[in-house]
Structure 1
């Protein structure tokens, strides 16, 4: 053991050198801020930033964009862009270029020979080719979950770090194309060590105000819980989105005139171009505080022929700067966002402070980009489920050891799924703003990634359980399809829990028997019931299954571990009683009481029996008539991006619901049928503190030539006074106020769409006595349009394109291709006092993001099978969430722990918590730990960031953070995420 420890420490030391920089015997390259060109302090310095924006899928798939395929859709070929740029950068050492999307650069790098790699490495080391942002993609900010964002950033940053060392580390975040900006993203970037953040899109009213007050550059304080400047991020809003100024686009896709500098030519235009540029620069400088301005010289998939750009920019720089001899005070230079940022920092001034976010985004009075919060709801759900699968795959790869990757079921890997999930975070992927064939490609990639992970999971569970019996995964349980459970008289079910605390989970398995015996890992009987399958589920599954019933029971799974249940058919039992065709007056367990209106079949009240709270609660489905673009006020239609109803009052689908009722000791259900295309199950499990609403919507009818945007609306007697609350990427909660923006006087022009916000995992309304929280199973849009009401948009089927580039309507079809898409999902409702609400909704939301993985084996378990296992020595404290457990190298593991409560959010849990890393795992011995940045691309001890001063009073400086009790006893404060590289020994 001692010999191994010595080896592990040596290997870890070498690894540490690779993370923190090149070995010390190699001369430090001059990159980053040191490589920035000189500027003129007494002049207006114009930083030209050559760049390309390469969507990781949008109108074409990722593969089509990289190879330049399907140019009939869009002319774009990323491999040619990189080929051309590298060639042009070698011609002049003053030239610069930035590159952003690591997913594309990774592909290109793999295909290059050693000579080209050496040239590129030199360009990077000299700061002439600079990586900005550095994630696998430029992620969406409204519909992504923070855990998936951190993962995709880590993937890209590690590749750059492994390939180029410290010169590959981005210093600036760059989100020039996402459609609104989340506060949690800014917090993530700050914790990853970025010095600044630039983006291109913000609300047109906000931009107009900021131009007048010179607040297009600001300090974003992105957390109410983390002490400043931990989550402070300098943020710059680019002047032209991410395009060049008018008249100065020189790509082969542009139509602007080149600089014609032969004086013998009749169309010589240097003087005109110089004068136009000087006017542009001076006009732009009026809106910014310093004597430095930035111009983005590039756009979507530009620089395929980089010579066009550089030849004209060379001339522009030469001729504009030549005017200095005649008294001009404008200096133009090739630059990068980080060099521009450095000059702003040197200005030593103060910056406006912002503490909210940049949602919703509108680019005109009737053009609110709030539809994509819900667009493609099935893809959004699949992405969220895939995130859960990836975390399970990562964990089991660590817990099962090397045999997980190559075991009895073959070679498996987590990398394929990791890359597929990273691509899915792109701002035209999970956002739902891509063409249909591209959405299909994203789903295919996720399915392929999960197939690779399934092999790994089988291998790992074989190692941990000692059983190599083949395991099956049932991926259509949401529509009650699983051939093994439908046909087997005896089988076992493995429940793996990816959370670091025990979970209780309600399982529903499709079966054809009428009575079953269920026993847990200790052989104890488990209460269960068989209930008839609903007609809605039978219709939805079609010919894919044959089950008549569902077996329902509760499972208990240990933290970061699994347990096993044995299920056997009992013979000669009568069939389950059929559902009753009328609504009950109440459904009740020991926690909740739910009442229904017997006349309508709809919900009428919700009571918390523990806290003795009760509210009026009605729920129904409505649809907004999507604008077709023929409104008198505007020709803007609803589409994949834009939500624009043509009136403020939605249409009710039905004022009453046909109902069936199921009630037994395990579950109570009211099955509601509103129309041929809308149904719902209101469900209360015996041990649940939440009420489940399982909705099924589709095919949305469009025979009347009307596009429809379908909502579920909850109406209560809670006194909200115009306020409601939504989460930011699944973490901190932001207060929203109807028809209001915290940073400018809003002129509201769209009373519905202009009040919609992204809901990533939960939203709530409250007053002094009660809080109603809705936890979602995917990202959705929602709002509180009237007091006491909360609405969630579930589905969209539209007949017109919204003229934002995708060039097809959001009209998804079902599997047969003829009918519209049917989508099923769940909303979970809790009723609590406001001061204890977070104690309920935070763990509930995490349990929806990281769901137990079920796998099945035919017949009984083998006699030697280990039926239960936990990867932790003990459950983590309630405030602590285990965010990441992932294999880093063969003897090191990446670990992220987070405090999942905001400061002052919970009386019980908003306190610092200390965790001992050495006492964490049950089958891994932790030999040592070193803390890293959130992006895991630099050591925390070596991380330094530029300081920025707010113009408003920031209050007293934050107290110094107390040191950890020891190197292996780490303390987490509210909303803090800490990242460690662990040296481990597999016991």
Structure 2
């Protein structure tokens, strides 16, 4: 029975919080660490790890990779593993493996299950894709892995649960990723790419393996993760790739002494040399060697046969005094041996950004590359969070159609987080494929949205009006509202656990409208659509000349519906914004001033009783136009690499001041800069921020020069002294310093590109003169920096004419409608006392990401008929959440839950998050204690079980390996949160993952 029926029929008589321990599903006891091949004590044991790195799209699409390579890889590998119990193989990308597994017959599936249960086929990482770490939001990282974990758990059970992170190809690594992996219950993480200077130092100091403290100031040791840097990125040692792709340039082991090309001794000598070289950089007598690379093992028999020879002949040298022993292994077996070594390990607290692989070659361009795709991916991720909630609240746990569509939407989001997707580093044709998949994902979510409204909205009738999604609101296009219809409805769903006041903008054709709730009309404004907006999609049949603006009051985890109709000029009709010669935008909380030429001059915050001189400019860095040669001085800018020519910039002068329009709800100033940049600066009457809507493009390349476009906000004499702050995947805030790395001495070769860092949600500076913090929040990931005192600089768009020689093979030159791509986005500017900043930027960052999902309908009913037939609002919560608590996840659990649900109940997944850090705010950074009974009041609860963050195992069943560290801090096991009755206390930055069993009747 649907949840709203439960609410109406059940009276909660008792609330049981039962964290139960059920026996694990039946499994072969040889999986896991017990399945590892035996080493030889006293020798250098070299763990050969057969693997393939399969990008879910890059040079060709995910489908093309599957049919051309991946299916043959898995066919061949399974046959080799079946034939020889000593062989091992790891597989990572579940987007591919699930597809292959679905195509197999029952006999093959049984073979795979046997191999998994015996530890011979091991799933590492377990995500749908190997996600990027610079441009991804933490919610998408969690979901990307959860969907892969769920397939593995449902299909194979405990023996398939991943225990190791495997981020071998992303171009830099975030601290939040390590924290998330630790909370999944992982025992270790391996990656391949780190700055060449950092790697050189680590090899010298033997710190290639360490304990990464993923949340040193908040979660402590439960976010610590043993981490290893792989010696050769993720490739075999030079000369020892044995796949068909290496056949033309790598020798095979020719072991027939009767043949002229016999080379066993030569190959063994060369391999032993590689082993001894690697041993100098690592601390133990265990070494890991990745035997595989991009799409290797298309000819699995060839690769394994050559490795068999290598093992045989290298190990044969032991009879002549060699101390090197080779064995087939996996990353988890290697980690276990390091843990058994029982030594102390160095630690690290910062992250691995930015990444450079040689002088003048900083991989900081991809922080911004393809900004439209970055926004689309972020937007669909936000949409996914809302749709999951709506499906859960609509009782869709057992609706197979909805579950299938939700899985498709989740898979689409997972693919889009891949390190060649959201990064913008694929070929253009593949980027189009990613965008098409995201669009199809939106379509998949519509069935859940309609199901939700069909359940909650009707008062008198079986269904709700058809809910229509307008995909081009960013361009002021919506067929429902701009078609001249005299009446339509706007409905907003809010996924946050608190009510929001959302400034809603709707494209319309007329100038006078009435916006109503059941309680009467509300205030609204009419603004003219700008010429820049009309030019965004020149081939469209855009009919809107105006935008209707009103403030929607949307309840927590619920919806609000508004009725809009054309109106005569009466007291309740929308007010047309007035053009003004004034040079001030003024709201209750903030104001912005401009000079007589329209240039921004200052920003004031009433709450902080502060005013600062604030300038804003568009600049571009001419891109370096080098070539693909070995000399790094010739490194060009491209999809991956940001390298400005001569580290100089060009200012884009403002060419037109289009004045100020003042409405009752919002005031806005319009500016134009040259032929390809413009912006609208807005101050809302009741908002504490300044909204800056920027539009860039088509970037001119008529001069033959590629351009990297940035916006720069400047507060002269602010006094941040080269220190600025950026978020890590939307969660914890990290301090950045110009030309500085916390763990090694930087020889800075690129003073601009080498100081850019990922900005997922915000970038800010703090003054040491005035106790003020200036923060810019973003609607997508960018690259950003503070290159001069008082500056916040954010790269917005890139159009380049050279490939950067990193594999994509074409320039980053996006076009649409026969011209350079135009991109539009928003920034949100905050000015606060430092001690008060977090209580504004933390909730605002959530509102920017989890915006209400807007749908439209055109029920041809009068206003009274509409509200008599349909319920105007609903909330899924029955108590006010604490101000520092966030509902990160609410979704139905398909298939078998982790813990069997009591009869008559349906399992739901609920994640609650304390979203402040320690010390950020005097009150909101404190631990939060709440009563689950009150938060879930109205639902019949059959049990509550705490899970690990990945929702694939009970928290009480997670037993991670413990590590000794050189800093002497004791390593603690991840412990479940302790329930006292129904009371739970959460510390800053903690995420509580629950399986909640709800009675269905």
- Please state which band the TM-score falls in when normalised by the shorter chain: over 0.9
- 1:969 maps to what in 2? 983
Distance in 2 (CA, whole Å) between partners of 1:118 and 1:412 is 25
Distance 2:105 2:673 in 1: 63
**Cα gap change, 1:423/1:963 in structure 2, threshold over 3 Å: closer, same or farther?**
closer
2:924 matches 1:881: no
Q: Map residues 651-662 of structure 1 onto 2, 5 A cutoff.
A: 651-655=650-654, 657-662=656-661
Where does 1:502-581 land on structure 2 (aligned, <5 Å)?
A: 502-520=499-517, 522-542=518-538, 543-571=540-568, 580=579
| Residue 485 of structure 1, CA deviation | 1.4
Q: Does the CA-based 8 Å contact 2:626-2:635 persist in structure 1?
A: yes
For the pair 1:482 / 2:481, whether they are aligned, the reply is no
Note the C-alpha offset of 1:403: 9.4
**In 2, Cα distance between the equivalents of 1:912 and 1:753?**
39
Give the Cα separation in 2 of the matches to 1:288 and 1:56.
32
Taking a change above 3 Å as real, the CA distance of residues 563 and 943 of structure 1, as seen in their structure-2 partners, is same
Task: Decide which moves more: 423-432 or 462-471.
Answer: 462-471
Name the CA distance, whole Å, in 1 between partners of 2:692 and 2:132. Answer: 28
Secondary structure, aligned partner of 2:471: coil
Give the structure 2 partner of residue 79 of structure 1: 71
Q: Is the 8 A contact 2:19 2:944 kept in 1?
A: no
Query: Cα distance, 1:449 vs. partner?
Result: 1.4
Q: What is residue 935 of structure 2 aligned with on the other side?
A: 920
Structure 2 distance, partners of 1:562, 1:969, is: 29
Distance 1:313 1:882 in 2: 50
How many angstroms does 1:915 deviate by?
3.0
**TM-score (normalizing by structure 1):** 0.94
User: Could you say which residue in structure 1 is the equivalent of 2:24?
Assistant: 21
Q: Distance in 1 between the 2:137 and 2:271 partners?
A: 42
Superposed displacement of residue 41, structure 1:
2.1
| Residue of structure 2 in register with 1:120 after alignment | 112
Deviation at 1:581, TM superposition (A): 7.4
Query: For 1:147-158, what aligned pairs fall within 5 Å after superposition?
Result: 147-158=139-150
Name the SS for the 1:444 alignment partner.
Answer: helix
Deviation at 1:263, TM superposition (A): 1.3
Q: Report the equivalent of 1:203.
A: 195
Q: Residues 449-477 of structure 1: CA distance to partner in whole angstroms, max 9, x if unpaired? A: 11121122012111111142222222211
Candidates 467, 471, 477, aligned match of 1:471: 467
- 2:618 is aligned, of 610, 616, 621, to 621
1:72-123 deviations in Å (ceiling 9; x for gaps)? xxxxx10000000011112221111111111111001101111111111111
Q: Secondary structure at the match of 1:319?
A: helix
| Structure 2 equivalent of residue 185 of structure 1 | 177
- In the TM superposition, what is the alpha-carbon distance from 1:226 to its structure 2 partner? 3.3
Deviates more, 1:184-193 or 1:633-642: 633-642
Report the 3-state secondary structure (helix = DSSP H, G, I; strand = E; otherwise coil) of the residue aligned with 2:169: coil
Choose the corresponding residue for 2:605, options 608, 611, 616.
608
How far apart are 1:924 and its partner, in Å?
Answer: 3.8
Whole-angstrom distance in 1 between the partners of 2:225 and 2:219: 13
**Counterpart of 2:417?**
425
Give 1:273 shift: 1.0
2:511–2:576 Cα contact (<8 Å) kept: no
Q: Is contact 1:404–1:460 with CA below 8 Å preserved after alignment?
A: no
Picking from 269, 284, 288, the partner of 1:294 is: 288
- 1:340-362 per-residue CA deviation (whole Å, 9 max, x = no partner) reads 11111111111111000000000
- 2:838 — aligned with what? 838
8 A contact 1:924–1:986 mirrored in 2 = no
Question: Hey, what's the Cα distance between the residues in 2 that align with 1:953 and 1:335?
Answer: 31
What are the Cα deviations for residues 519-565 of structure 1, in whole angstroms up to 9, with x where unaligned? 22x42321111121112112224333111111111111000001111
Structure 1 residue 316 and structure 2 residue 310: aligned? Answer: yes
Cα distance in 1, alignment partners of residues 114 and 1000 from structure 2 = 40
The 5-angstrom pairing of residues 75-474 of structure 1 reads: 77-254=69-246, 255-402=249-396, 405=399, 413-466=405-458, 467-474=463-470
**Which consecutive unaligned segments of at least 5 residues does structure 2 have?**
896-905
Whether the 8 Å CA contact 1:933–1:979 is kept in 2: the answer is: yes
Alignment TM-score, normalising by the size of structure 2: 0.93
**1:615-654 deviation line (CA, Å, top 9, x unaligned):** 1100010101011116997111111000000122210111
* Mapped partners of 1:179, 1:61: distance in 2: 20
Describe the SS at the equivalent of 1:919. helix
Residues 1:872 and 2:872 aligned together: no
Residues 403 and 459 of structure 1 are in contact (CA less than 8 Å); yes or no, is this contact kept in structure 2? Answer: no
Shift of residue 404, structure 1, vs aligned partner: 9.8
Q: Secondary structure at the match of 2:366?
A: helix
**How many aligned residue pairs are there?**
960
Cross-structure match for 1:668: 667
Which string of whole-angstrom CA distances, capped at 9 and with x for unpartnered residues, describes residues 565-602 of structure 1?
A: 121211368997686475x3311111012111213x11
1:873 Cα offset (Å):
0.4
Q: Distance in 2 between matches of 1:259 and 1:13?
A: 59
Q: Which secondary structure does the structure 1 equivalent of 2:442 belong to?
A: helix
Does structure 2 retain, via aligned residues, the 8 Å contact 1:225–1:974? no
State the match for 1:710 in structure 2: 709
How far does residue 921 in structure 1 lie from its aligned partner after superposition? Answer: 4.3
